[in-house]
């Protein structure tokens, strides 16, 4: 019976557009506990003080969902069909289209309703990168890939350009087995990182990461990184772009992730001249709203200082 329930959930998730689905038993993440503690104690989270909160809940989903028995991990592909002109202030591929939080929450809500209709009285919560859940750890545990040296989950047939989400439910399901790590001796991501943020295999110093500088950091980017920003205005894809496993990436089929052309085609001068009202209108459903226009303008001015161009 457990197996048929798991198959129903996986089948319905794929129908909703998710790329891959895996299931693991809800419990304490023993391997992750010391790693997270060390990462925080070494201040790898920089100014992201929220990472210090809810330490126990990050490691045990049973503290987030009463009676939790299973973690259903889901991947949604965002690899684009067309790419931004690299001479423009660069935007990370995941932010080309509509904010993934909205897109995935709609799918998770639909999946939960289907589970309740087809299986019965099931309770749980949906998570999309907005609560203390270690999503990559759960995806790894459920056999959806391994954690690469760049800290991203890598699927052996699809690469790493995925969003990760979870349904944590009070339903006992057959779990999937983890797979081995296939990175081998490759260090391309570590070698290519413009700011040397990947300080050891699977250890990313968030306080040195371009994505952190362009999105999370509220204050000015340290002057010492002025020549290392590689032309990025929002996020960074370097460690994924150089990963050999991403040769298996295939363009997504999600209509809502199609590029917002008005944002994709903005030059440095366009960004300098755009008003707050215009920005809010064209970016109303974009992840770029998170840092805001002023932050992006300051980043571009810093990144392309004195007419400099992306590497």
Q: For 75-110, write each residue's pLDDT tens digit.
A: 999 999 999 998 999 999 999 999 999 999 999 999
The structure tokens listed for 215 are 């999105």
Torsion, CA 17, CA 279, CA 222, CA 85, rounded to 10: 60
CB count within 10 Å of CB 225 equals: 15
Q: Do residues 139 and 22 share a domain?
A: yes
Query: Given this model, what pLDDT does residue 44 score?
Result: 65
From 141, 169, 197, the end of a domain falls on 169
Does the pLDDT at position 246 exceed 60?
yes
| Residue 147 forms part of a structural domain | yes
Q: Do residues 283 and 216 share a domain?
A: yes
Q: How many CA atoms lie within 13 A of 10 on its CB side?
A: 17
Name the DSSP letter for residue 143. Answer: T
Is 99 known to be catalytic? no
Q: Do residues 118 and 230 share a domain?
A: no
pLDDT tens by residue, 194-212? 999 999 999 999 889 999 9
Does the pLDDT at position 265 exceed 90?
yes
Looking at the structure of the chain, the number of domains it has is: 2
Q: Do residues 13 and 143 share a domain?
A: yes
Distances (CA, A) of 217 to 93, 95, 204, 236, 281: 20, 18, 16, 14, 24
pLDDT tens by residue, 6-26? 999 999 999 999 999 999 999
Range with the lowest mean pLDDT among 132-136, 158-162, 194-198, 257-261?
Answer: 132-136
58 pLDDT tier (thresholds 50, 70, 90):
confident
Name the DSSP letter for residue 214. Answer: I
The structure tokens listed for 150 are 């760049």
Domain that holds residue 98: 2-169
Q: Do residues 115 and 19 share a domain?
A: yes
Q: Do residues 162 and 234 share a domain?
A: no
pLDDT: which is higher, 41 or 296: 296
Q: What is the pTM for the complete model shown? A: 0.92
- Block residue for tokens 């996020």: 235
Query: Given this model, what pLDDT does residue 305 score?
Result: 62
| Residue 71 forms part of a structural domain | yes
Q: Do residues 193 and 165 share a domain?
A: no
Q: Do residues 16 and 121 share a domain?
A: yes
43 pLDDT tier (thresholds 50, 70, 90):
low
**For residues 241 and 222, what is the distance between their CA atoms, to the nearest angstrom?**
25
User: Do residues 192 and 22 touch, judged by C-beta distance below 8 A?
Assistant: no
Q: Terminus-to-terminus CA distance in the chain, angstroms?
A: 55
| Residue 180 forms part of a structural domain | no
Q: Do residues 13 and 69 share a domain?
A: yes
| pLDDT mean over 124-128 | 94
Q: Do residues 136 and 51 share a domain?
A: yes
- Block residue for tokens 């010492």: 224
pLDDT: which is higher, 54 or 276: 276
**For residues 129 and 106, what is the distance between their CA atoms, to the nearest angstrom?**
14
% of the chain beyond a pLDDT of 70: 91
Q: Please tell me which residue in 129, 191, 241, 270 is annotated as part of the active site.
A: 129
Query: Given this model, what pLDDT does residue 302 score?
Result: 92
């Amino acid at each position: 019976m457990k197996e048929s329930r798991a198959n129903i959930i996986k089948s319905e998730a794929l129908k909703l557009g998710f790329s891959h689905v895996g299931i693991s038993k809800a419990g304490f993440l023993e391997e992750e506990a010391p790693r997270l503690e060390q990462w925080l104690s070494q201040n790898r989270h920089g100014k992201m003080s929220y990472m210090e909160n809810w330490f126990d809940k990050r490691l045990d989903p049973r503290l987030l969902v009463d009676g939790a028995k299973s973690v259903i991990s889901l991947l949604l592909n965002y690899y684009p069909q067309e790419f931004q002109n690299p001479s423009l202030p660069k935007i990370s591929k995941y932010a080309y289209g509509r904010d993934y939080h909205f897109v995935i929450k709609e799918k998770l809500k639909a999946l939960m309703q289907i589970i309740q209709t087809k299986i019965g009285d099931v309770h749980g919560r949906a998570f999309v990168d907005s609560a203390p859940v270690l999503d990559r750890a759960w995806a790894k545990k459920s056999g959806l890939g391994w954690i690469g040296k760049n800290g991203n989950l890598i699927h052996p047939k699809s690469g790493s350009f995925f969003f990760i989400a979870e349904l944590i439910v009070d339903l006992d399901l057959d779990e999937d087995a983890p797979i081995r790590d296939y990175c081998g001796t490759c260090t391309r991501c570590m070698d290519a990182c413009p700011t040397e943020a990947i300080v050891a295999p699977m250890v990313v110093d968030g306080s040195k990461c371009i994505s952190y500088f362009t999105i999370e950091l509220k204050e000015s980017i340290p002057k010492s990184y002025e020549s290392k920003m590689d032309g990025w205005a929002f996020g960074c894809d370097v460690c994924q772009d150089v990963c050999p496993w991403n040769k298996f990436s295939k363009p997504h089929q999600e209509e809502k992730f199609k590029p917002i052309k008005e944002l994709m085609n903005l030059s440095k001068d366009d960004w300098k001249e755009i008003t707050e009202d215009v920005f809010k209108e064209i970016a109303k459903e974009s992840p770029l709203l998170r840092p805001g226009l002023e932050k992006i303008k300051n980043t571009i001015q810093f990144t392309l200082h004195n007419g400099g161009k992306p590497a």
